[in-house]
Amino acid sequence: MREVAVVGAGMTRFGKWLDRGLKDLGREAVEGALAQAAVDKHQIEAAVVGNATAGLITGQEMVRAQVILREMGFGEIPMVNTENACASSSTAFHLAWLYVASGLYDVVLALGVEKLYHEDKKRSFRAIGTAVDVEKYQDLVKAAAARGRENGGGAAEAAGRAGESRSAFMDFYASRARSHMKRYGTTAVQYAKVAVKSHGNAALNPYAQYRERYSVEDVLNAPMVVEPLTRLMCSPIGDGAAALVLCSAEKARQLTTKPVWVAASALGSGKDPVPGEPGVTTRVARRAYETAGIGPQDLDVVELHDASAPAELFEYEDLGLCAPGESGRLIDDGATSLTGRIPVNPSGGLLSKGHPIGATGCAQLVEVFWQLRGECGDRQVKGGEARVGLTQNAGGMVRDEAAAITIHVLKR
């Protein structure tokens, strides 16, 4: 396999863009990536485009890549559409990497783009809720409603609102959050500290959907979504796009003096684990660490899948940043802050930068690419000296594991 470099990246600000479509969002991200890479569109030999919900939100199915890129003047080249829930565009990046690493192409575009926001929020929540085994999900909803009736009051009504007034995935995260609290003594305050950190980082990121700062008290006093998750502990609905240009080592040296190398690109799926076996994130991360020749102690910056605040703590443990049960201490100690020993989600993460699900994976990679090049301004980590970064992106859920996981390691 050949060495593969990233030489350019671009993205839109994430937000609720009712007046912008897939073509417009995609164009901004792609033009930004091409400009930074100093590459003309005619030099792109293939393109892979990740999107998850366009069919359900906009009605555009099947040929999304071709529709978006043809509008920009791309033609003839192979265009591939990837749909892998929230890991759609990190999967696109994985395939783009494989095309270049295999020697099939020298310059490939990876794009993630999503129109998730809709005036009818139920439509957005229902679209997100399809990233499961829908037959099994209905059983889960019925069981939750039954438990709610047993608890009396408004609990039954709240249980029935999963997928209607909130993403059903928040119920899954909340359940794991309560289990973590019970097993390890993790607190709601520690979950709130994750949100405070993320919002503080996003305030420094011009591409972030939300740039307000909050205190722990603000987070804890925000409206409750599902115990213990308040609204400020949950990622928002939004739209956006992110793109990267990947190329061979020979081509990279012609284009830039600051290439960022793809040290590992790992894609995996959940399974039915045996008791005591590590989860899918840990399994795929171990494979990526081995390929890159590093361990978690070597990471200078991480962008991970914090669709909820508790999820960030879970991933600290799953990625080996700390031992099981010690993630609360990591956030208490400030180890994952911008100035900490292992900054996590300097972009603001999904919580604050936003989570237009088909664009999220590429957006994580854009952030790490810019961090390793020292191009992140006020949110720059390690004084611009970061050398190794990792992204972790999860998509969907089947039974008790994520349906898809990507782990990428980038080096400069």
Q: Which residues contact 265 (CB under 8 A, 6 or more apart)?
A: 93, 94, 97, 98, 101, 288, 406, 408
> Which residue of the set 94, 118, 355, 408 is catalytic?
355
- Give whole-number Cα distances, 261 to 7, 27, 93, 221, 394, in Å: 9, 25, 13, 43, 22
**Residues 189/365/355/85 CA torsion (nearest 10 deg):** -110
Cα-trace Rg, the chain: 20
Give the whole-angstrom CA distance, residue 82 versus residue 365: 17
Contact 272, 15 (CB under 8 A): no
- Phi/psi of residue 261, nearest 5 degrees: -95, 140
β-partners of residue 268 are 405
What distance separates the 2 farthest-apart alpha carbons in the chain?
67
Contact 410, 262 (CB under 8 A): yes
Q: Which residues contact 242 (CB under 8 A, 6 or more apart)?
A: 9, 10, 11, 12, 29, 89, 111, 112, 113, 359, 362, 363, 365, 366
> Which residue of the set 86, 234, 247, 322 is catalytic?
86
86 catalytic residue (yes or no):
yes
Residue 342: strand, helix, or coil: coil
Q: Which two tokens stand for residue 405?
A: 């996981």
Amino acid at the residue 118: H
Q: Which residues contact 269 (CB under 8 A, 6 or more apart)?
A: 280, 403, 404, 405
Give the whole-angstrom CA distance, residue 118 versus residue 125: 10
Q: Which two tokens stand for residue 226?
A: 């599902």
SS3 content of the chain, % helix, strand, coil (to 5): 45, 20, 35
Q: Which two tokens stand for residue 143?
A: 């069981």
β-partners of residue 84 are 86
Look up residue 213 and give its DSSP letter: -
234 catalytic residue (yes or no):
no
Known catalytic residues are 86, 355
